[in-house]
Structure 1
């Protein structure tokens, strides 16, 4: 029997340190901790795949929380069921739940379904908020450089890249984006009679 650990964060801006520390404190050796830095909405994660390939009958996989293993119910159930069939238990440190035994597996599947339903509600609320903001006139995306109007004027006057960037402080990329905008606007402008 080996204790194996799995830790995951959704983005590279987040840290795995706390989860790894928690897994070590429960007795998982560092060389038996598998990690991923990507969304849990899919089980196509390198660290998870290596963990599942390494795990054998009577091993125990420890995760700090359920949502670290996965957020999608179907994938989560597939992972839990696959481990259960191989005789591999999964334990979640946060709430003490385990897939050991028939009752444990059922509880995990129910909680995974609840976690996915909550995730869908969050996505719905986020989308509703975005729609309301758009209706209220909120603009999404990158803001224009404060010197964009001056830069546009200079470009229209035929000033060179070096003069425009020197006078306005815009980047080369912004200069070329503005030139493309001018060209596209001219191409799409209605012909005067």
Structure 2
């Protein structure tokens, strides 16, 4: 019996659409993340890895949708193929089974390196654009998550022993934002 055809689609932000990624490709189930591909910390990716079984095929639009750096790409493909799951990249027309030859491994490495290089270029252009906007006086940065009185309240509650996780929930911010406000004293 043939396994299931399972797709993984990813976009970097909530306002982006995954519709075009595997349009017209028949699958039994789709896992969708709206998160950066900079690391493997993606809930639906983990669910997919838990879900798939021996004989299944994971379809991904392109390598950069699965991972943005070579180490993560290799790791994810290895995790899947160790479960005897095929990984198929539609755009690149490449399939990995775990029993791949040296040429397949080279292609995975080269294409993964290009995805990592592309991410680096994007970040570099973003930094350059911000620097130019700052010079012209039109870049102000992100608006602060908390106004001054709320920041004072956050610091007071932290000093009183309220946990960082609880502060994050109360103020509607991430724990990293809580730590940033506490460091900014």
Give the TM bin, normalised by the shorter chain: 0.5 to 0.7
Unaligned runs of 5+ in 2: 150-185
Matched, 1:41 2:38: yes
Please give the per-residue CA displacement for 1:45-78, whole angstroms capped at 9, x wherever unaligned. Answer: 1111111011122321101121111212221111
Structure 2 partner of 1:117 = 117
Structure 1 partner of 2:23 = 21
Matched, 1:107 2:107: yes
Q: Which residue, 31, 35, 60 being the options, matches 2:57?
A: 60
Please give the per-residue CA displacement for 1:10-52, whole angstroms capped at 9, x wherever unaligned. Answer: 111112223353332xxx12xx211111111121211111110
Moved over 6 A (4+): none
Deviation at 1:141, TM superposition (A): 4.5
User: 1 or 2, which has the higher helix percentage?
Assistant: 1
Question: Pairwise CA RMSD of aligned residues?
Answer: 2.4
C-alpha distance 96-139 of structure 1, shift in aligned 2 (>3 A): closer
TM-score (norm 1): 0.64
User: Are the equivalent residues in 1 in contact too, given 2:4–2:57 (CA < 8 A)?
Assistant: yes
C-alpha distance 48-2 of structure 1, shift in aligned 2 (>3 A): same
Matched, 1:128 2:125: no
Unaligned runs of 5+ in 1: 144-176, 181-193
